[in-house]
Chain A
Amino acid sequence: MSEFLQHLINMLVLGGTYALLGIGLTLIFGIMNVVNFTHGVLYTFGAYIMFIVVHQLGVNFFLALPLAVVAGWLLGAAIELILLRPLRGSDIDTTMLVMIGAWIAMQSGALWIWGGVAKSVTTPFPEAPLVLGPVSVSWLRLFVLAAAAMLIVVTYLLINRTKLGCAMRATFQDHDTASLMGVNVDMIYTSTFAIGSSLAAAAGALLGPVYVIFPQMGDLAAVKAFAIVILGGLGNITGAVIGGFILALAEELGAGYVSSGYRDAMGFLIIIAVLIFKPTGLFARSERVG
């Protein structure tokens, strides 16, 4: 039983960061209809920013986090402006392939700059965990959960309570009408991509110190993000949050009780199962952003 509780705690912590990943992608995929293959790279980028800022620039860990988020935002905006805007109107295949090219180039760039040896980020938290009866959880992971929760709330408020968010939701529903209503659709697209990318970078910045940082770390993260988006339904933030926790639960239980080797397969299996049986996602009714 205590083993089960331990898995549950692990799941909660992981689910929070997965949710961040998923929200970022569901916004991009939902509003812009772009299969964003660079999402994983942004995750990796966020992690490396943490490494550089904390270890090479000597900045405080807690200050490094917002820096990573901002860096992700900037990189996302750059990608959108340079690669996606000129292709506006092309078919989805072309944009997808361009994203793949960008992904390859950027990941190889990370490999070239930082090398293949994994990097660790030292954190200011004590190694001794917080013990709650039969289960333990490290302070670092609690912090990660708290930070992820905070970012999720901020994003939710952004989408549902601000003018920008309103414009994004309008563009999601019908971008021609939105543009007729005076929404600057181009700017919305750039903002959406930037926000989504910054969330991926945040997820990487949070999980990087928990594990280790290496150039290919984003590949798995990207697939998991897609799984969450498909689970939760395109453009559905609440769905993405719930989807993130469902994926984490499936992984923990699958790894704990079925086979640890298939842990990462859970995401893929979910994708395939959902797309075969319920392609619109588990939360089909709410198909709107927010």
Chain B
Amino acid sequence: MRAGIAILTVVAFASVPLWLRDPYLMNALITTGIFIVGAMSLNLLLGFTGQLSLGHIAFFGIGAYVSALTSLGFDAGLPFGFRMVHEPWPPIIGFVLAIIIAGFCGYLVGLLSFRVRGAYFVIVTISFAEVVRLVALNWVELTQGPLALTNIPSITIGLPGLGDLTLRTKLQNYYLVLSVAVIAYVLISRLVHSHFGRAMRGLMENETLAVSVGIDVTKTLTLAAVISAGIAGAAGSLYAHYIRIIDPEVFAFINTVTMVIMVITGGKGSLAGPVVGGMIFGLLPVFLRPIMAPEAQWIAYGGVLIVILFVLPRGIVRSLAQRFAKRRSRVETVAPVAFSKRDAAKEHA
């Protein structure tokens, strides 16, 4: 049933360019799609591991900058008179590097989470994002600072026997983003339904109990952070090569907040949550623009976040799912995990 809905949704999305011609709306869909990938990755940490990482945009931005710099080349000075020189490489390599380096940063954040938890973890992650932003802003030789990295090349895919395909048009980028989103969704879905997924959720539900059955806290949190950051980095890379200009404002805290609103409204801890939340908050600004000033919109978004937290704390998707479940009186499967000693023994071995 669930797989059926998922496939239908993908087909529906894939058919959009066939009837939607407006380039402005296509642009909105593409950037929304990119942010949905980011939101899905945040959901992994926020919804499935219970870590409120509010510096998530750092991974996205790092991915964007790494990918852009890889494909543009750079020449920057290091202390003690060394110079870092890099010739431009194909953007597709930038994409891969973005995932790797962002993932590595996720590893560092994961390590940190072992030392500081709860509110302090939140503050540290915010600070991390801000420091990265200030570095991007001030290390002008490398990142161009406020002048922005411009003329970033589009992604080129080498098709065997057909030559190179440069993804320049909106149509091509739409399918690229859709493909990456689907891959990310499947990846996260498999992860969540695996042993590792149960370890993550066990940690979130009751850490002491999870530890007592042998779950390695650091390893689980770190691995979750790495994967989450890697996916965010991939989204960042797509962003860089689509809009083709990146400046340090990409690290602004408001972008993390946007992803948080998408995840919470859609429903943290549910796979479809970020997609639903992303569609709403990615497209709403576009449709509201003619009637509501952006500032007024943000007042509304803040209000919506508060209202959702009060009224539908599990988010739209899970509340709806609950309704349906009640109607068909079926047990919902994304419920708290019941640990059996056998599972625990398997983890150990």
Contact = CB atoms under 8 A, between A and B. Distances in A.
B257 A265 contact: no
B257 A104 contact: yes
Contact of A272 (B131, B260, B301): B131
A97 B260 contact: yes
A275 B131 CA distance: 15
Q: Which of A29, A35, A103, A108 has the most CB of B within 10 A?
A: A108
A86 interface: yes
A110 to B, nearest CB: 9
A272 B134 CA distance: 14
Interface string B176-206: 0000000000000000000000000000000
A215 B306 CA distance: 21
B116 A96 contact: no
A100 to B, nearest CB: 6
A230 B295 contact: no
Contact of B120 (A93, A111, A230, A261): A230
Interface string A78-107: 000001001100001110111011111111
Contact of B123 (A83, A108, A226): A226
A173 interface: no
Given A101-B305, A101-B309, A275-B115, A265 B130 contact: yes
A272 B128 contact: yes
Nearest to A101: B305
A255 B266 CA distance: 43
B303 interface: yes
Contacts of A104: 254, 257, 298-299, 301-302, 305
Given A94-B309, A112-B296, A259-B138, A105 B253 contact: no
Nearest to A105: B302
Given A35-B123, A97-B264, A276-B112, A108 B302 contact: yes
A223 interface: yes
B302 A102 contact: yes
Interface residues of A, number: 42
A96 B305 contact: no
A223 B303 contact: no
B285 to A, nearest CB: 12
Interface string A242-271: 000000000000000001011011011101
Contacts of B116: 275-276, 279
Nearest to B122: A35
A109 interface: yes
Contact of A265 (B119, B123, B124, B134): B134
B128 A108 contact: no
B130 A268 contact: yes
Contacts of B115: 275-276, 279
B302 A272 contact: no
A219 interface: yes
B73 interface: no
Q: Which of B119, B135, B297, B313 has the most CB of A within 10 A?
A: B119
Interface in A1-49: 29, 33, 35
Interface string B98-135: 00000000000000100110111011101110110011
A42 B297 CA distance: 21
B336 to A, nearest CB: 14
Contacts of A259: 138
A183 B222 CA distance: 43
Contacts of B295: 108-109, 111-112
Nearest to A259: B138
Contacts of A275: 112, 115-116, 120, 123-124
A29 B130 contact: no
A33 B120 CA distance: 11
Contacts of A269: 127, 131
B20 interface: no
A86 B137 contact: no
A282 B314 CA distance: 39
Nearest to B138: A261
15 contacts: A35-B123, A87-B310, A92-B119, A97-B264, A101-B304, A101-B309, A105-B299, A105-B302, A108-B298, A109-B299, A262-B138, A265-B131, A268-B131, A269-B131, A275-B120
Interface of A: 29, 33, 35, 83, 86-87, 92-94, 96-98, 100-109, 111-112, 219, 223, 226-227, 230, 259, 261-262, 264-265, 267-269, 271-272, 275-276, 279
Given A101-B302, A111-B295, 11 more contacts: A33-B119, A93-B50, A98-B305, A102-B302, A103-B302, A104-B305, A108-B298, A109-B295, A265-B130, A279-B115, A279-B116
Interface of B: 50, 52, 112, 115-116, 118-120, 122-124, 126-128, 130-131, 134-135, 137-138, 253-254, 257, 260-261, 264, 293, 295-306, 309-310, 313
